[in-house]
Amino acid sequence: MARTEVKALEATGSDFSTFHRTVIKRRELRPDDVAIDIKYCGICHSDISIVEGIDTLFKRPLVPGHEISGVVSAIGQNVNNFKVGDRVGVGCFIDSCGKCKYCRAGEEQFCEKGVISVFVGDDYDGNPTEGGYSQSIIVKDRFVLSIPDKLDLAEASPLLCAGITTYNPLKRYGIKAGSRVAIVGLGGLGHIATQFASKMGAEVTVIGHSESKADEAKQFGAKAYEILKTPADFDRLNGHFDFLLSTVAVKLDWNQYFKLLDVKNVFG
pLDDT in tens, 142-156: 999 999 999 999 999
Same domain, residue pair 198 and 87: no
Same domain, residue pair 104 and 38: yes
Q: Are 207 and 190 in contact (CB under 8 A)?
A: no
Q: What is the pLDDT of residues 57-92, one digit of tens each?
A: 666 678 889 999 999 999 999 999 999 999 999 999
Q: Higher pLDDT residue, 254 or 267? A: 254
Q: How many domains does the chain have?
A: 2
Same domain, residue pair 168 and 251: yes
Longest pairwise C-alpha distance within the chain: 66
Q: Higher pLDDT residue, 97 or 5? A: 97
Q: What is the CATH number of the domain that holds 62?
A: 3.90.180.10
Same domain, residue pair 205 and 101: no
Same domain, residue pair 26 and 150: yes
Same domain, residue pair 153 and 167: no
Same domain, residue pair 176 and 143: no
Same domain, residue pair 97 and 68: yes
Which of 160, 195, 212 is the last residue before a domain boundary?
A: 160
pLDDT tops 80 at residue 52: no
Q: Are 84 and 72 in contact (CB under 8 A)?
A: yes
Q: Which residues span the domain enclosing 93? A: 4-160
Amino acid residing at 148: P
